[in-house]
Structure 1
Amino acid sequence: MKRREVLERVRRAVPDAYTAGEARAIAFEVAECFCGFSRAEAVADPGAEAVADEGVLEEACRRIAAHVPLQYVTGRTEFYGLPFRVGEGVLIPRPETEELVQWIAADCAGIAGVCLLDIGTGSGAIAVALSRLLVAPTVDAADISPDALVFAAENAAVNGATVHFVQADATAPYDTFAGLLPRHRYDVVVSNPPYIPRSEYASMRDNVRLYEPAGALFVEDADPLLFYREIGHKAARLLDAGGRLFFEVHEDYACGVCKLLSGQGFVGVECRYDMNGKPRMVRCVKE
């Protein structure tokens, strides 16, 4: 099979919900992962023979056609320039979250020995990236999902990051949650919690709503600030004076999160906009 034939086969499998540009990008990624030739090689010599396992390629195309996320099909993604393994049961890290990591890294620049807790770590993206970016940090990370924690531990190992992972529920009583942590004082607490109202479920792409873990995405419309309130309450006790709490937020609730944190006694509450001009990140300080 020629390289051009591999790419065309994958492109034909991509659902109509994707743009032509997205379909082309998916084809290149599948070809590199399963057939061993890069985008540059495909462009330079599309008529070259591709080393392709027909069965493996057919299964990849079948899953693509069924709206399975590309990252689950290939089993890999990239976050902040680092390789991450992902699969069903763990949220795929988004580019917007890289901006949150960048903010934290800049905020802690030049400070050695920062002690950080990532609540709702998922694939470990935030914790692993910051373990690599900060100077001699101590990084702990918690998640309720044992499946996610398997991916997170592997991603830490692959990237040479030292992170202590624990299984814990962010909505549990403080003593229950804190009792599972290896320490009870932190300089930084960060979380990208579930924040999408369930009412938005029907409007989301099938590759997200049908496959990514609902527990990592959705929150009940009746209480959209649940996780911010619970994590804010815990962070108020876990942070040292001057410690900072960072959140990724839903654009519609950024103002509400800021008001909630002010009401919990945090100061210096600041909201930042993401690359798309939406209010998506919040930072505050414990007095």
Structure 2
Amino acid sequence: MPTRREVIKRITSRLTPLYGEREAQQIARIVICELGGLSFTDLTLSPDESLEIDTLESAIEELASGRPVQYVLGHTEFCGLDFRVREGVLIPRPETEELVQWIVCGNHLPDPSILDVGTGSGAIAITLAHLLPVARVTAVDLSPQALTIARENAQRLQTKVSFEEADALGELFPGERGRFDLIISNPPYIPERERTLMRPNVTEHEPSLALFVPDNDPLLFYRSIARNARRLLRPEGSLYFEIHEDFAEEISRMLVEEGFPTTEVRKDINDKNRMTCSRLNRK
């Protein structure tokens, strides 16, 4: 029977061509801990203990085919909460955690009304509902599959979120005005030309509709959401976006044109422009 050390080495060897050695080893450790019921401390203190996992072979084959480890395991952590993920929803990223933290720290309302546009797995909406339990949170997405997963996550995590099917490129909540204090979105923002630069575990498994935008109109979703936000936000409302690092200036200019004269751009932990907060100027 192989030892823990040997299994880590084996998985790492299979995944290194896809991810590089360091990330491959991190994935190997995550998989072994998950499937073997171990902690990282167990691996560090007792690497030569024997290890038997019935589902290990199938997991290795899935990972070696490029399927993301989050889909293989069926879940991922976001802001300390455990979210189910599978094909059909974007896997939540660490930079989105930073956006959520910014929103929570900047909120001074006792019971804000919040809208999450393009909710996917529900990570943003559900986390905000968890951290701001008095908030009234609504989340929309065009994908029925994504909404099914988001509702599952809300139920599992015992949070109250109202989910609705809606298109971010269309009119949201027709006829309504001044309904929300905060509107948040992590919309598709990667130009199609960058697809070839990305790893197959992303391009071949995660939903393209949640990732890519036309090369000739990368602000497509931001513009539409900003126009909806101008109508749906209350007078002192705020609009938060996760953004592509290359488009901060373009997004800021567009927001001025759409009635948001003040936009703060914030860098992520990697010193990249990755999020914005804009204030509404209602005339």
TM-score range, shorter chain: over 0.9
Cα deviation for residue 184 of structure 1 reads 6.2
Equivalent residue number for residue 46 of structure 1: 47
Separation in 1, partners of 2:18, 2:7: 21
Counterpart pick for 1:170 among 164, 168, 172: 168
The range that moved more, 256-265 or 3-12, is: 3-12
Equivalent residue number for residue 94 of structure 1: 93
Question: Which amino acid in structure 1 is aligned with residue 24 of structure 2?
Answer: A
Q: Is residue 2:156 matched to residue 1:158? A: yes
Cα deviation for residue 212 of structure 1 reads 0.7
The question of whether the paired residues in 2 share the 8 Å contact of 1:118 and 1:126 is answered with yes
The question of whether the paired residues in 1 share the 8 Å contact of 2:178 and 2:234 is answered with no
Separation in 2, partners of 1:12, 1:273: 35
Equivalent residue number for residue 274 of structure 1: 268
Separation in 2, partners of 1:75, 1:184: 38
Equivalent residue number for residue 136 of structure 1: 134
Question: Which amino acid in structure 1 is aligned with residue 104 of structure 2?
Answer: A
SS in 1 for 2:116: strand
SS in 2 for 1:102: helix
Question: Which amino acid in structure 2 is aligned with residue 58 of structure 1?
Answer: E
Equivalent residue number for residue 238 of structure 2: 244
Separation in 2, partners of 1:273, 1:34: 36
The range that moved more, 92-101 or 18-27, is: 18-27
Q: Deviations over 1:258-280 (max 9, x none)?
A: 11111111132211111111111
The question of whether the paired residues in 2 share the 8 Å contact of 1:168 and 1:180 is answered with no
The question of whether the paired residues in 1 share the 8 Å contact of 2:178 and 2:235 is answered with no
Cα deviation for residue 167 of structure 1 reads 1.1
Separation in 2, partners of 1:184, 1:49: 61
Cα deviation for residue 26 of structure 1 reads 0.8
Equivalent residue number for residue 185 of structure 1: 179
Equivalent residue number for residue 260 of structure 1: 254
Counterpart pick for 1:124 among 116, 122, 125: 122
Question: Which amino acid in structure 2 is aligned with residue 139 of structure 1?
Answer: V
Question: Which amino acid in structure 1 is aligned with residue 155 of structure 2?
Answer: A
SS in 2 for 1:89: coil
Equivalent residue number for residue 15 of structure 2: 14
The question of whether the paired residues in 2 share the 8 Å contact of 1:272 and 1:280 is answered with yes
Q: 1:180 to 1:201 in 2, by over 3 A?
A: farther
Question: Which amino acid in structure 2 is aligned with residue 178 of structure 1?
Answer: F
Structure 1 regions of 5+ residues with no counterpart? none
TM value normalised by structure 1? 0.93
The question of whether the paired residues in 1 share the 8 Å contact of 2:239 and 2:278 is answered with yes
Cα deviation for residue 35 of structure 1 reads 1.9
The question of whether the paired residues in 2 share the 8 Å contact of 1:265 and 1:286 is answered with yes
SS in 1 for 2:6: helix
Separation in 1, partners of 2:123, 2:158: 13
Equivalent residue number for residue 79 of structure 1: 78
Equivalent residue number for residue 30 of structure 1: 31
Q: How many residues align?
A: 280
Question: Which amino acid in structure 2 is aligned with residue 76 of structure 1?
Answer: H
Q: Is residue 2:221 matched to residue 1:220? A: no
Q: What's the % identity of the aligned pairs?
A: 47
The range that moved more, 84-93 or 16-25, is: 16-25
Separation in 1, partners of 2:148, 2:56: 27
The question of whether the paired residues in 2 share the 8 Å contact of 1:185 and 1:240 is answered with yes
SS in 2 for 1:34: helix
The range that moved more, 158-167 or 193-202, is: 158-167
Question: Which amino acid in structure 2 is aligned with residue 98 of structure 1?
Answer: E
Q: Is residue 2:69 matched to residue 1:70? A: yes
Separation in 2, partners of 1:242, 1:184: 10
Equivalent residue number for residue 188 of structure 2: 194
SS in 2 for 1:235: helix
Separation in 2, partners of 1:261, 1:170: 16
SS in 1 for 2:270: coil
Separation in 1, partners of 2:168, 2:47: 51
SS in 2 for 1:16: helix
